[in-house]
Structure 1
Amino acid sequence: MTTTTQDELDIVRATHTYALGLDRFEPELALSAFAADAVWDATAVGLERYEGHEQIRAFFENDAKAVARQFHILTNHIVAFDDADHARGTNYVFSEGETRTGAKFKAIALNEDTYVRTPQGWRIASRVISPLTTPEMAGFEV
């Protein structure tokens, strides 16, 4: 296996770790996919923009408290390397769930990511989430 192939697999694993952490309501696991100074921006689907581990962690913790059931399916990963330590890519996300108050939500979106190699491995440096269909977010209050 080439280094680039292994790097791409590690990047895809980071995106899947993010989803698993959210769906298992383990904020630290989801956060472990991100670089310390990462940006997570879901303003286009009606949520917020968060910068750095502290802000992103707070959102993931609030999500874990507010949501009763959810899932994230990430697929169609495309990764391009800018250099040995930086890459960018896209992937599709389908997320659906229900809050503890009974509100249902659904989003089918495009994640536009940048990635950075850290001493701990590849991490998401930025994620911008854009809707591919009309998001259904009424009552999703995190």
Structure 2
Amino acid sequence: MIAIPLEDRIGLQDLMTAYCYAVDKLDDVAGLLSLFTPDAVLDFTAIGLPLMHGHGEIKAFFDRVFADMSHHSHYISNFRPIRYDGASGAMTAYVVGLGRAKDGNTVEVNVQYTFDAVKTGSGWLCTRYSMFAMMPLPGSLAEIHG
């Protein structure tokens, strides 16, 4: 187990939880982007979705996702710090994600998120976010978000 002060552990957990809340709102891409550094990388390639660099590409992806979805619900647990040096850190968590597209298509994924983050004067910001599937992925994932 990685030694990490409780305040920073909670800060990293709060960052990951804030991401889930932002994604579930489906209407505030700017709020979602505020959780990431301007040059952040989102790597969703392990689940068949794109690799994104920077706010512009991240915004374009989530603009499409939010436009296509009627409902999102993400449940995050099993937080585990995997790296920490005082100025930066990384944490993993298990996530069950549910969604319903406006066309009625549904998706359920069981994935592990990894957030690499830097500590700023106002809290933690994600620099790299990746995920991999912990259970087989449904075909509807690519249909909805691909």
TM-score by length of 1: 0.90
Q: Which moved more, 1:102-111 or 1:29-38?
A: 29-38
Which residue pairs with 1:73 in the alignment? 75
Aligned-CA RMSD value: 1.6
- Deviation at 1:102? 1.4
- Deviation at 1:89? 1.6
Distance 1:11 1:82 in 2: 10
Q: Deviations over 1:8-56 (max 9, x none)?
A: 1111111111111110112222222212211111111121111111111
Residues 44 and 89 of structure 1: is their aligned pair in 2 closer, same or farther, counting only changes over 3 Å? Answer: same
Do 2:95 and 2:110's aligned partners in 1 also have CA atoms closer than 8 Å? yes
Do 1:35 and 1:123's aligned partners in 2 also have CA atoms closer than 8 Å? yes
Q: Pick one of 28, 31, 34 that aligns with 1:32.
A: 34
Whether 2:24 is the aligned partner of 1:23: answer yes
Q: Which moved more, 1:118-127 or 1:103-112?
A: 118-127
Secondary structure (helix, strand or coil) at the match of 1:57 reads helix
Distance 1:102 1:53 in 2: 29
Secondary structure (helix, strand or coil) at the match of 2:136 reads coil
Which residue pairs with 2:49 in the alignment? 47
Distance 2:78 2:145 in 1: 29
What is the identity percentage for the equivalent residue pairs of Structure 1 and Structure 2? Answer: 23
Q: Tell me which amino acid in the other structure corresponds to 1:30.
A: L
Gapped regions of structure 2 (runs ≥ 5):
none
TM-score by length of 2: 0.87
Distance 1:16 1:6 in 2: 15
Secondary structure (helix, strand or coil) at the match of 2:144 reads coil
- Deviation at 1:88? 1.4
- Deviation at 1:137? 4.0
Equivalent pairs counted in the alignment come to 140
Do 2:81 and 2:90's aligned partners in 1 also have CA atoms closer than 8 Å? yes
Gapped regions of structure 1 (runs ≥ 5):
none
Do 2:82 and 2:92's aligned partners in 1 also have CA atoms closer than 8 Å? no
Q: Deviations over 1:51-84 (max 9, x none)?
A: 1111112211211111011111111111144311
Do 1:75 and 1:92's aligned partners in 2 also have CA atoms closer than 8 Å? yes
